[in-house]
Structure 1
Amino acid sequence: MFAVGATVAAASDGDGGGSSASGTSSRAPGRYSPDAGFARDMAVHHQQAVEMSFIVRDRTGDEPVRSLAYDIANTQANQRGMLLGWLDMWGLPKVIADEPPMSWMAAPDGGDGGTGGDGEAGEAGGHHEHGTGAAKPGALMPGMATKEELAALGAAEGRDAEVLYLQLMTDHHKGGVAMARGCARQCATPAERALAQGMVEAQQSELTLMADMLKQRGAAPRG
């Protein structure tokens, strides 16, 4: 389990004055900053990984797949709690209707930076070009599954469910790694940058594991 409260507390002193425990200004990140954008987008991204992991645990008795699914669900649910906790602490919304997903990755200067939560939507910086590839039709962000793919996973059983889960989660992790690398480069909050870098390392390790598990089942990641 992650020490959510301690890590969130380390991100800012939360009282609007002085310096934070992270060694940066205690001023909250801006509404359209990389820090806030990453927290919002990765929370959504993680929620789908948790959903897929719970689905596959009910569709197969294979212990290696069930163990992987449990680890992913547990880890990403805890990380999601941290991200949402930061948004609460910064006094920022968890959802912004007019903010395109991952638009924070387009602004090398961090959008509205540390100007607080009252910036305008236009400061987010237009279309994003971040090297993650475009989201496929029906998917909110790169790597995310569509409703049809989630339905197919829920209808599959045994080896078919295992293979589809591993393929979907491989795509999901690739999108997540690209986004986490963006935060590791652009986010101003040290604790959040550290979390993002940890995501990169852990998910890359799981990508290697899932490639091996697919090979054992006579399958491969999708192109």
Structure 2
Amino acid sequence: MADETAPDPADEIGGDRDEQSQRTSTGMRVLVATVAVVAILLLGAAAGLLLGLPGGQGVPASNSVDVGFAQDMSVHHRQAVQMAGWARDHSTDNAVRQIAFDIETSQLGQVGRMEGWLGLWDKPELPTSGKYMTWMTGPEAAAHGHGATNPNDPGVVTMPGMYTQQEWQRLRSLSGRELDVMFLQLMLRHHQGGVQMMEYAAKYATNPQVKNLAQSMLLSQGKETETLRRLLTARGGQPLPPPT
């Protein structure tokens, strides 16, 4: 007599097919997103190169605001891109995934422009001193405790708003609402941490395109900061202490 509790082979095959179809669909979404991200970065780099030497001016000095901003903000942006990419792929909240995608795509394009300028100027993508914000000088930098305010030890090892490795590992261990809240907290603090550099470059950069990019970042990230704060509050989260 047949075992009435035995699974139907057809059901098992169908289940396998459904699971395989789901894995394939997920893989395709990740592939499409990855291709889009690479395309945005390349387009940004091309835009940077097409600008030529911004403003038709000569190559800026290695210690200039223009070079320092392009180097440091590219590093700062890339961390935001990393966080946003993780949230885009692992959050189940559509609003969180949308803001993550928006941040990822916009900042990748900006990284492409800045690295395109650095390549055209024959400058390294990273500061050679091993420290950041050495290009920020004077009373404004001193007021924030950053920049080349100490001739014997200029700059900072970590830029404001950057997450720690412990925070990154914790973010990757979370799921659901906990993931969304921590992502929004970290990204909000990250946006706030970049404001000082953007404001300084918008005021003191000598190349018009560099100045304009810094001003554009201030505008777009100001709007994103409002959205991040609103999403965080709606999900029961509180902002982290502001970066110093």
Displaced runs of 4+ in structure 1, greater than 2 A? Answer: 1-11, 128-134
> TM-score scaled by structure 1?
0.78
Greater RCO (Cα-Cα under 8 Å, separation 6 or more)? 1
Report sequence identity in percent: 36
**Root-mean-square deviation (CA), in Å?**
2.2
Shift of 1:58: 3.0
1:30 pairs, out of 61, 65, 69, with 61
Match of 1:68 in 2: 99
Whether the 8 Å CA contact 2:69–2:201 is kept in 1: the answer is yes
Matching of residues 49-198 of structure 1 within 5 Å: 49-106=80-137, 128-129=141-142, 131=144, 140-198=158-216
Shift of 1:175: 1.1
Instruction: Give the secondary-structure state (helix, strand or coil) at the position aligned to 2:108.
Output: helix
Q: Which has the higher helix share?
A: 2
Match of 1:112 in 2: none
Deviation string, structure 1 residues 117-141 (Cα, Å, up to 9, x no partner)? xxxxxxxxxxx5253779xxxx721
Distance, in Å, in 2 between the alignment partners of 1:163 and 1:133 is: 29
* Structure ID, larger Rg: 2
Deviation string, structure 1 residues 162-211 (Cα, Å, up to 9, x no partner)? 00010100110011122111110111110111111000011111111111
Shift of 1:8: 3.9
| Unpaired runs of at least 5, structure 2 | 1-39, 148-156
Distance, in Å, in 2 between the alignment partners of 1:28 and 1:133 is: 25
Question: 1:81–1:107: structure 2 CA closer, same or farther, 3 Å change rule?
Answer: farther
Distance, in Å, in 1 between the alignment partners of 2:146 and 2:234 is: 28
Q: Aligned pairs, how many?
A: 190
Distance, in Å, in 2 between the alignment partners of 1:133 and 1:156 is: 33
Question: 1:36–1:148: structure 2 CA closer, same or farther, 3 Å change rule?
Answer: same
> Does 1:214 pair with 2:235?
no
